[in-house]
Amino acid sequence: MTTAPRTRLSPAERREQLLDLGVRLLAHRSLDELSIDLLAEEAGISRGLLYHYFGSKQAFHEAVVRHAADDLIAQTTPPTDGEPLERLRTSVTAYVDYVVANHEGYVSLVKAAAGGNESLRAIYEDARSALNGRLFHGDDAGEIVPDTPAARLLVQGWSAMTEELVLSWIDDSRGVTREELLGLVVASLPAVVGVLGTGR
Amino acid sequence: MTTAPRTRLSPAERREQLLDLGVRLLAHRSLDELSIDLLAEEAGISRGLLYHYFGSKQAFHEAVVRHAADDLIAQTTPPTDGEPLERLRTSVTAYVDYVVANHEGYVSLVKAAAGGNESLRAIYEDARSALNGRLFHGDDAGEIVPDTPAARLLVQGWSAMTEELVLSWIDDSRGVTREELLGLVVASLPAVVGVLGTGR
DNA sequence: CACTCTATTGACGCTCGTTCAATAGCGCCA
DNA sequence: TGGCGCTATTGAACGAGCGTCAATAGAGTG
């Protein structure tokens, strides 16, 4: 097979191509398990071009994670009307369906945030607070969750639980249906927040 | 300053020294941010010796994580008697106090598990299931949590929430006291499990 | 059909993980 | 007490892979 001819794309197109490829490749390998050589070959470009667009391997990783996070936020826009509990259910459903549909990309995002440096973590935290924040910032904010330090802590914990439940369920649903999962996640927020009264 | 004289330790001592140092160094840096050069210099040994003991950088990382996990398990032995809820509270207290006292080591463990490869994740999963499993394997197992697929899923989620709560609280307690935190964590398990009846 | 702009290349330097034959501390036995 | 052997330890050498930079070649424009 002869060497492929050099193809010239617009910066936006090339950037998009490289980010999409990065999300796919980083879902199963960690960053240092992914060599620039492999990435370049897979994309049909030279090593140098990656540095022209992203400057460093780390910066490329950050761009990939931000790309995945933006996608998550965009594809799970919350409803603006309806009762609070119903809005919660709709949002959770969108989140679960997104994670199911984009499993690889989402795992890539979570792994990067948990294992990576401060800036990667920051990108993830921003996405997460965007997901949570818009749930509790309507006109009827406070109907489900009061705004106290302990309550904020609990909401953060509930988010972590939700993520664990969904990823674990995808990994092995063990006879639990999607509807049951949604019911568990939605019901557990009020249940957890209800703890606020009992703690001493 | 002259080069330090070569010190000869027993394999057990040297191994212990390197593992302890590894836990400390990997708490703030990720694995690829930690060079063998730095590690060797910090330990006062040559690069080659590390390979003599662990074979590779990856294998060293695994040994460090296993070391931290074993320490966690050993230092949080659960009570064998008392009422279920009281045992739960005692176990959670031991866990929280351990994480507070060994913050760096614990963060090192969690980051490795979340961001690392399959074997690192397996080590962490084993430790976690050991922590949970011994809570619900007494003679009175089932008094708090029934043994169904959905319940197992929820317990796993509760574990993730607990970890998030404790780490987040250590990072910024925001006026929440240790006692309040313990109350929240302990009370949230029955609260979450109570959801099982309501879900449809 | 030149000509310019810039997307793209490929070879080079350098850091860092890994290997391996050589070295030296420490207990043992005469 | 003094040599001897075992093995903990070393450090130079190798290779893989990240990052740089001047040179090259598509694609639109006059």
- Tell me: the pLDDT tens digits for A153-190? 999 999 999 999 999 999 999 999 999 999 999 999 99
Furthest CA-CA distance within chain A: 73
**Mean pLDDT score of chain A, rounded to an integer?**
90
- CB of B176 within 8 Å of a chain A CB? The answer is yes
Residue B4 falls inside a structural domain: no
For the stretch B3-23, pLDDT in tens is 567 789 999 999 999 999 999
Claim to verify: residue A92 and residue A179 sit in the same structural domain: yes
Claim to verify: residue A95 and residue A189 sit in the same structural domain: yes
B75 closest CA partner among B101, B54, B53: B101
Q: Which helix H or strand E contains A114, and what residues bound it? A: helix A103-115
B3 closest CA partner among B32, B47, B46: B46
How crowded is the C-beta side of B85, counted as CA atoms within 13 Å? 8
Is B114 within 8 Å of A111 when comparing Cβ atoms? yes
Residue A1 falls inside a structural domain: no
For the stretch B30-75, pLDDT in tens is 999 999 999 999 999 999 999 999 999 999 999 999 999 999 999 9
- CB of B179 within 8 Å of a chain A CB? The answer is yes
Are B96 and B185 a contacting pair, CB within 8 Å?
yes
CATH of the domain at B113: 1.10.357.10
Name the domain count of chain A: 2
Claim to verify: residue A49 and residue A71 sit in the same structural domain: no
B189 closest CA partner among B124, B121, B92: B92
State what percent of residues in chain A have pLDDT above 70.
92
Angle between helix A84-101 and helix A103-115 axes, rounded to 10 deg: 100
**Bigger pLDDT: B139 or A70?**
A70
- CB of B153 within 8 Å of a chain A CB? The answer is yes
Bases of chain C within 7 A of a CB of the protein: 7-11, 15-21, 24-26
Q: pLDDT value at position B61?
A: 97
CATH of the domain at A29: 1.10.10.60
For residue B140, the 8-state DSSP code is: T
Q: pLDDT value at position A77?
A: 84
B152 closest CA partner among A107, A191, A162, A165: A165
Residue of A nearest to B160 (CA): A161
